[in-house]
Amino acid sequence: MKLKVLFLCVHNSARSQMAEMWLRQIAGDLFDVKSAGLEPGTLNPLAVEAMREVGIDMSRNQTRGVFDIFKSGELFHYVIAVCDAANAERCPIFPSITKRLNWSFPDPAQVRGSPAAQLEQIRLIRDAIREKIEKWVAEIRDADASEASATKSRKTK
């Protein structure tokens, strides 16, 4: 059974979309993943470009509202806010045994400068999100391996 993960940010226009796409690429075999926003907007074209540079096409993704997902009754093992803590507090509490995590990344909508400078800043955010997901997936896999080993050990006694 795949673990269900929901990534959240304010507009579902960059950070949560990038996190969703990275997790699908890195560990789609382990996770069923979605993303949503508190106030869904439109995809950030510079975030789309930054992901395209690493071979991930999110140009056809649609933004989603977290409250629509909440009202659907869908359950998640993990709800991960990738926005600042103040905005993460605005997220609904999902029913069931859900682990809430907050991974605060800078908001790509707030980067300033020339388009080239903005893209460079978004690349840094993209890479930070990838790095965090890689570490988290490794932790999940290590925990699963430890649990499997402990279960096997109990069965052989």
SS3 59: coil
The active-site residue, picked from 19, 91, 111, 129, is 91
The active-site residue, picked from 9, 82, 88, 111, is 9
Which CA distances in Å does 112 have to 42, 52, 109, 122? 18, 21, 8, 10
Is 95 an active-site residue? no
Is 55 an active-site residue? no
Structure tokens of 10? 């304010």
Structure tokens of 97? 């045994």
Is 91 an active-site residue? yes
The active-site residue, picked from 10, 83, 111, 129, is 83
18 neighbors 91 (Cβ within 8 angstroms) = no
Structure tokens of 45? 């074209």
DSSP 21: H
Structure tokens of 83? 């926005």
Q: Which residues are catalytic?
A: 9, 83, 91
